[in-house]
Amino acid sequence: MPDYNQMTIEELEKANQELMEQRQKIKDEQRLIAAVLDRKQAEARAKAKVARMSDPEKAALAQVLKAGSIESAEAVGSPGAS
């Protein structure tokens, strides 16, 4: 860790700016990770629900999905997107 007491005002300002930029990059990456994690958890929950369904329930669900009564992700958009 640098000795901040020995740094000039300009050096301190530069170091502070660099840390703020690093923090922003980390926050941006955390948002991306959270979005992927949310999607994967939703997929896992959906797969678990389907696994608990009986064959007739699975067939009925497939029929509903083929009929298009549930909009696709492309039509609805991504969760949280503006």
State residue 68's pLDDT score.
Answer: 80
State residue 67's pLDDT score.
Answer: 86
State residue 71's pLDDT score.
Answer: 61
Residue spans of the domains in the chain: they are 7-70
Q: pLDDT tens-digit profile of 42-73? A: 999 999 999 999 999 999 999 998 888 656 55
Q: What is d(CA 53, CA 14) in angstroms, rounded to the nearest whole number?
A: 59
Q: Which two tokens stand for residue 49?
A: 């629900």
- pTM comes to 0.61
Q: pLDDT tens-digit profile of 18-49? A: 999 999 999 999 999 999 999 999 999 999 99
- CA distance to 1, 12, 13, 21, 26, per residue, from 6 (Å): 12, 10, 13, 23, 28
Q: What is d(CA 41, CA 63) in angstroms, rounded to the nearest whole number?
A: 25
